[in-house]
A and B are shown apart, each in its own frame.
Chain A
Amino acid sequence: MNNHQIIQRQLSAYLDDELELSETIQVEKHLDNCDQCRQILTDLQTQKNLISNLRHDVPVDIWSQIQGQIGEPIDEKISPPLWQRLWLPIPTAGLAALLVIGIIFLFPTSEDPVFDPINNYLLAHAKYTMDYPALDGISLDETAVSSTATSEAEPFEDADALLSAYYDYE
């Protein structure tokens, strides 16, 4: 492919401002010295102007017409033959089953469906820990625990706050 052909392939993109700066400079440098390519560019420019002048406004009621057609009920439903009705669901169901099996194998769950009892453990530990929350009898009513969080804007909503503060319970 010679230099003319390379430049001529880029002319359309040049007209649409789609070239890189280096390519633009290269094309313009070539056009300065090449009448043939400059002529092609002029032709392209003319065609582009002609095409752009072909635009017509969309009729105002075009969408209402289309919507009317969409809304019309189809009187005749073409029912497929019986063998097709029976046959088509089989591969569909097979594919669905394969998909489910694939998901199960790719993303396995534990026997206990991903239940992590760590928070239960922390609670059980806290229940008999001397330093939680302080000495003497404590039995918390969950509706009545407040907190002020210096690093978080929202106050805690319930007694989880106690464990949250003490154990980073989540």
Chain B
Amino acid sequence: MSKIKLNLIIISCLLIQATYSMAVTDESQFFDLVSRGNQMDWIGKRLTVGWTKDRCIAFESMVINKVPDIRYSRLVLPYRKEANRPQTGKRSHRRRGERKEQPGRQKEPFDPRSIKIVTADILLQHQKLIRDNYQLQLVEENETICWRDSKLWSIKPRNPNRNRLFKVWIDSETGILLRVEIKGQRNQWLSFLTQIQFDPQSILEEITQFKALEAGDKKQESRFVSRSEAEKALKRELILPERFPSGFKISQIELMDLSPTPVAHIRYTDGLETISVFQNQGRRLSRRDRRDRDLDSHDKDGNTVVPDKKRGRRNNIRKEKISDVQVTIMDRTDVHIYRWTRDSVNFTLIGSLPESEMAQIVESFINNP
């Protein structure tokens, strides 16, 4: 082998090593910064804007972070006076936190307070999974966001078939997440932080206000359980898939007390993406199902297609056979929902992975004896 060739090989190896080191450095720097931001006391206002194909919503929230474990967020804009809103039927029930019991199809009251995500925590909690499944790249060293110097990272799935893209701007000095942009298949979310304060007195005052609000708020506790506890509650073994898409692991099992039988919610994550599997026992036939049955029609491949007449747009409901089991498939903006029943167990799979991967998960569930 000539000397030139040998030198070229060495240079190539060094370049690969350098690129890898840079990537590792980028990742380490990212998590170091996020970790630092999580250890800071601060309050700020966060504006969040979301777009879908035909809608746009925006709101402003006050967020607070006080180490070691206080993280609050509440909406401040737009503010609506209670008196201006009619207290009728479902909404008045919802406001009092009651469940309106009535026959027929029921809609579970939506308790928006239950939606609480502390991403900085999640980022740190699933650090290893994120490192394994996503490529973090420092795109911009110095970008001004909210009058503060920030570093811009792009987070892309390593799997080329997945297309969720995250852009995160982190305060260079404090490590606070200043701005986040998430692009999905059909929607996009943008949130950015303004009016950050580090004044301890203001933070304490805000915490006092938050606690006063929280005192009057009946919180719904999640029941996270082990697999054996879940099986005990369900009185049968949990059915899990033979295989799951690479990179995903069970993150939590939650027991949901829904009538008539408890439901096990098994959550898989690859660090940033979540796939939910719900399973319970019993017959499932809703009015919607009956309506679907009445509207059944077939496409050119012989699959059942149920047009959602109410929406009349992208939200088609299809019925397909996967491993000889009839599966109802619904598309809701960026998530796919697969529902099927086997041996009296009802399954619902929700996730944003491409349809091919979702169908493989269903198949894997069905084929697991």
Determine, out of B58-66, B141-149, B239-247, B298-306, the stretch whose residues face the partner at the interface.
B58-66
Which chain B positions have C-beta within 8 A of A137?
63-65, 71-73, 116-119
Given A124-B256, A134-B189, A144-B78, A151 contacting B55 (CB threshold 8 A): yes
B interface residues, tally (CB under 8 Å): 93
Instruction: Please tell me if the beta carbons of B164 and A121 are within 8 angstroms of each other in the complex.
Output: no
Complex: how many Å from CA A113 to CA B274?
Answer: 30
Instruction: Please tell me if the beta carbons of A166 and B117 are within 8 angstroms of each other in the complex.
Output: no
Instruction: Please tell me if the beta carbons of A168 and B82 are within 8 angstroms of each other in the complex.
Output: no
Instruction: Please tell me if the beta carbons of B258 and A131 are within 8 angstroms of each other in the complex.
Output: no
Instruction: Please tell me if the beta carbons of B177 and A125 are within 8 angstroms of each other in the complex.
Output: no
Complex: how many Å from CA A152 to CA B79?
Answer: 21
Instruction: Report which of A109, A118, A138, A147 forms a contact with B115, defined as CB distance below 8 A.
Output: A138
Instruction: Please tell me if the beta carbons of A115 and B259 are within 8 angstroms of each other in the complex.
Output: yes
Given A149-B55, A168-B332, A162 contacting B274 (CB threshold 8 A): no
A14 within 8 A of B: no
Which chain A positions have C-beta within 8 A of B256?
120, 124
Chain B 321-336 near chain A by CB (<8 Å), digits 1 or 0: 0000000000011110
B320 within 8 A of A: no
Chain A 125-147 near chain B by CB (<8 Å), digits 1 or 0: 11111111111111111111111
A117 within 8 A of B: yes
* Smallest Cβ-Cβ distance to B61: which chain A residue: A138
Instruction: Please tell me if the beta carbons of A110 and B272 are within 8 angstroms of each other in the complex.
Output: no
Which chain B positions have C-beta within 8 A of A141?
74-75, 112-113
Instruction: Please tell me if the beta carbons of A121 and B65 are within 8 angstroms of each other in the complex.
Output: no
Complex: how many Å from CA A161 to CA B74?
Answer: 16
* Smallest Cβ-Cβ distance to A143: which chain B residue: B80
Which chain B positions have C-beta within 8 A of A120?
108, 256, 258
Complex: how many Å from CA A169 to CA B177?
Answer: 28
Which chain B positions have C-beta within 8 A of A118?
337, 339, 348
Instruction: Please tell me if the beta carbons of A166 and B52 are within 8 angstroms of each other in the complex.
Output: yes
Instruction: Please tell me if the beta carbons of B117 and A138 are within 8 angstroms of each other in the complex.
Output: yes
CB distance from B271 to the nearest CB of A (A): 8
B307 within 8 A of A: no
Instruction: Please tell me if the beta carbons of A116 and B57 are within 8 angstroms of each other in the complex.
Output: no
Complex: how many Å from CA A165 to CA B184?
Answer: 13
Complex: how many Å from CA A149 to CA B96?
Answer: 27
A160 within 8 A of B: yes
Determine, out of B1-9, B226-234, B281-289, B353-361, the stretch whose residues face the partner at the interface.
B281-289
A58 within 8 A of B: no
Complex: how many Å from CA A126 to CA B116?
Answer: 10
A159 within 8 A of B: yes
CB distance from B361 to the nearest CB of A (A): 14
Q: A134-B189, A138-B117, A160-B110 are in contact. List 13 more A-B contacts (CB 8 A).
A: A117-B258, A118-B337, A121-B265, A121-B350, A127-B116, A130-B119, A137-B119, A138-B61, A138-B116, A147-B55, A149-B56, A168-B315, A168-B332
